[in-house]
Structure 1
Amino acid sequence: MTKAENIDLSLLTNQRIFITGGTGFVGKNLLKFLIVHAITPKQVTVLTRNAQKFKQKHPELCSQEWLDFEQADIRNLEWNNQKYDYFIHAATSVVDQSESETLFDEVVNGTKQALLFAKQAGVKSFINLSSGAVYQLNQNQIGLTEDSPLVTKLDNSKNTYALAKISSEHLAYLASYNSGMKVTTLRCFCFAGAYLEASHFAIGEFIKKALSNQEIVVQAGGGIYRSYLAAADLARQIFEVLIISTIRASNYEVYNLGSDDAISLPELAHKVVGVLGSESNVTTPNITSPNINYYVPNVNKLRVSLDNAIKSLDAIIVETADYYQNLSSLSR
């Protein structure tokens, strides 16, 4: 692909974009990015089950003239007879895995409907957000590449999400092969920043507790690694890929999306406390556990094409903390 430094994101101006999962963490940060950078598409349509609820909860994202909503379940999405230039399928990037059959149906059939919609709408570039969860457990302290082994064990309900995402990736490939539409799968890893739900992710929980000087108990051992990309960098890179993919030679590509700056969860807890100047005590009862899970991507393939300037982990922690504090002050 062409280097993103040569691509002006204002090329999104006067373009029509459809976003599924637009009311989730990724979608909200995509909208925020457009607003903050004063990018004015002709139209951005966000798929949601309840547009009114989203407008009431996030008025800061809903005052743009270019924004409208399509109200439907992703599994029942039908073409709205409008033409679009770009499509970002961000639905179910992170979901509750308690109902395995429902989950599989939502991911696979949701992707199928999104791809069909995009083809009917004349979309030139389609982004399919997948997950790093598609990879097998990584017990080597080496970043996962796009060619690393994928989950294959079928008789385990804990693999439902991963297997559904793998199936959706294959559907995305078939759509590019059969239609000529440029399709890109981005395997998402860990992120932090605005709109991150603290209760679902380690970094959010650590920051929340550090802000109130509560004790942080890290159950993970010293061999459990993560890495974090800022929400704003996540949004920027998605838009960069969206644009650049229209001029690449291949119809389909897969990239890891995240940071390769690894940190163990015990180290992360200590870093959060230090960066925020918190008085929280960090306890690590399982620090010597021999278990290793290096959930960190190798992003060299994407780095060749994109702007490499990303925020540091310290900056990400501060920005996420600021977001939580602003939320707290608004709720008073």
Structure 2
Amino acid sequence: MEHSLRHARILITGGAGFIGSNLVEYFLARDNEVVALDNFMTGRRDNLAGYAAHPAFRLLEGDIRDRQLCRRAVDGIDYILHEAALGSVPRSLRDPVTTTEVNVSGFVNLLFAAQAAGVKRFVYAASSSTYGNSPALPKREETIGKPLSPYAITKYVDELFAANFTELYGIETIGLRYFNVFGRRQDPQGAYAAVVPKFAAALLQHRPPVINGDGSYSRDFTYIDNVLQANELALLAECPEALNTVYNIAGGERTTLLQLFQALRDSLGRFDPAVVAIEPQYGPPRPGDIPHSLADIGKARTLLGYRPQFDVQTGLRQAAEWYYRHLAE
């Protein structure tokens, strides 16, 4: 990247989460002031512990469902990176009400507060789940299907609200449809853990991970550093065509769950040789899951200058070292 965003004041919602805390680290390292907003429903305090004494960092504890808090949070802010959400498909099937309150009402609260405060740009985490039952591969931003879960519906509704606020109020928005992000600080604990850290934790405990389905389901797994690049590019974008739209943010390659397991097992085996003998178990497919996902990243490449620096194999090697240091007992 030829230039970086510097000396800006950035609000990162969900700042104690996996992606949010990586964004906090990234933008503090580039001489920006960062305010992290989190209610710690899913975020972890230890993700931000290393920045508590940083002179350019401030933690604001609270919930985006609180309108008054959103107004306070955006005061004096130049840019917003909105990562706060309840991001689990199974959770949304179990509790669609809370998922909707957080992901839609909270989103609108923050978007409206940002518009009223004159925030320069609102960049938000959209989701590949928006593509729903569309069979088309690769996934292109203009073609979506029927959402398959309450979570997917909420993320699509967010895109509609963002577009509407741009038309009505003139606020600049960019949505980044993340595809299966993985990497350091991703929590393997709990019923709703993402597949990569969940596999890693099981392998490092010498237990067979459970693959939902027969292993043929495929995803476009995306290493965290690619997502950091995309967020900065979204904040730096200047041409009108690049604004007020959504982008696929992915690696642009398709990996089955079985291939993912094998590659992760090989990467962890460099640190723990006993891992390489472990074979997976197989369970039923999860309700609400789409069978296959692969992103066309041409739009992000053309309009944002997005160039993913990590493919799946390289990202897994990077992540495996972090998982070994933090998850091995």
1:127 deviates by: 0.6
Is residue 125–residue 181 contact of structure 1 (8 Å, CA) maintained in 2?
A: yes
String of CA shifts for 1:147-175, please: whole Å, max 9, x gaps.
Answer: 222325xxxxx621111111111111111
SS at structure 2 position matched to 1:87? strand
Equivalent position to 1:63, from 37, 48, 53: 53
Find the aligned partners of 1:219 and 1:62 in 2 and give their Cα distance. 39
Find the counterpart in structure 2 of residue 114 from structure 1: 110
Find the aligned partners of 1:17 and 1:296 in 2 and give their Cα distance. 31
Find the aligned partners of 2:101 and 2:114 in 1 and give their Cα distance. 19
Find the counterpart in structure 2 of residue 280 from structure 1: 277
1:57 deviates by: 5.8
1:263 deviates by: 0.8
Give aligned-pair identity as a percent.
Answer: 20
Matched, 1:315 2:308: no
Matched, 1:201 2:198: no
Pairing 1:226-237 to 2, within 5 Å after superposition: 226-237=219-230
Find the counterpart in structure 2 of residue 298 from structure 1: 296
Find the aligned partners of 2:313 and 2:326 in 1 and give their Cα distance. 20
Find the counterpart in structure 2 of residue 40 from structure 1: 31
Which has the higher relative contact order, 1 or 2, with Cα contacts under 8 A spaced 6 or more apart?
1
Equivalent position to 1:248, from 240, 247, 258: 240
Is residue 251–residue 310 contact of structure 2 (8 Å, CA) maintained in 1?
A: no
Find the counterpart in structure 1 of residue 171 from structure 2: 181
- Pair 44,260 (structure 1): closer, same or farther in 2 beyond 3 Å: same
- Pair 309,72 (structure 1): closer, same or farther in 2 beyond 3 Å: closer
Matched, 1:126 2:122: yes
Is residue 145–residue 297 contact of structure 1 (8 Å, CA) maintained in 2?
A: yes
Find the aligned partners of 2:23 and 2:157 in 1 and give their Cα distance. 25
One-letter identity of the residue aligned with 2:39: R
Q: Which runs of 5+ in 1 are unaligned?
A: 153-157
TM-score when normalising by structure 1: 0.83
Is residue 177–residue 251 contact of structure 1 (8 Å, CA) maintained in 2?
A: no
Find the counterpart in structure 1 of residue 217 from structure 2: 224
One-letter identity of the residue aligned with 1:253: T
1:250 deviates by: 6.1
One-letter identity of the residue aligned with 1:269: F
Find the aligned partners of 2:294 and 2:211 in 1 and give their Cα distance. 19
Find the counterpart in structure 1 of residue 272 from structure 2: none
Is residue 217–residue 282 contact of structure 1 (8 Å, CA) maintained in 2?
A: no
One-letter identity of the residue aligned with 1:268: L
Find the counterpart in structure 2 of residue 149 from structure 1: 144
1:239 deviates by: 1.4
Equivalent position to 1:262, from 249, 254, 257: 254
Find the aligned partners of 2:159 and 2:60 in 1 and give their Cα distance. 24
1:214 deviates by: 2.9
Find the aligned partners of 1:186 and 1:261 in 2 and give their Cα distance. 17
Find the aligned partners of 1:292 and 1:249 in 2 and give their Cα distance. 30
Is residue 181–residue 251 contact of structure 1 (8 Å, CA) maintained in 2?
A: no
- Pair 231,62 (structure 1): closer, same or farther in 2 beyond 3 Å: farther
SS at structure 2 position matched to 1:218? strand
- Over aligned residue pairs, what C-alpha RMSD do you find? 2.7
SS at structure 1 position matched to 2:317? helix
Find the counterpart in structure 2 of residue 155 from structure 1: none
After superposing the two structures, state which structure 1 stretch, 110-119 or 221-230, moved more. 221-230
- Pair 145,121 (structure 1): closer, same or farther in 2 beyond 3 Å: same
Find the aligned partners of 2:46 and 2:22 in 1 and give their Cα distance. 17
Which structure 1 residue ranges, 4+ long, deviate > 3 Å from structure 2?
A: 53-58, 283-287
Find the counterpart in structure 1 of residue 208 from structure 2: 215
Equivalent position to 1:104, from 100, 106, 123: 100
SS at structure 2 position matched to 1:294? coil
1:133 deviates by: 1.0
- Pair 212,159 (structure 1): closer, same or farther in 2 beyond 3 Å: closer
Find the aligned partners of 1:302 and 1:181 in 2 and give their Cα distance. 20
After superposing the two structures, state which structure 1 stretch, 194-203 or 204-213, moved more. 204-213
Q: Which runs of 5+ in 2 are unaligned?
A: 270-274
String of CA shifts for 1:98-137, please: whole Å, max 9, x gaps.
Answer: 2111211211111111111111221111112111111123
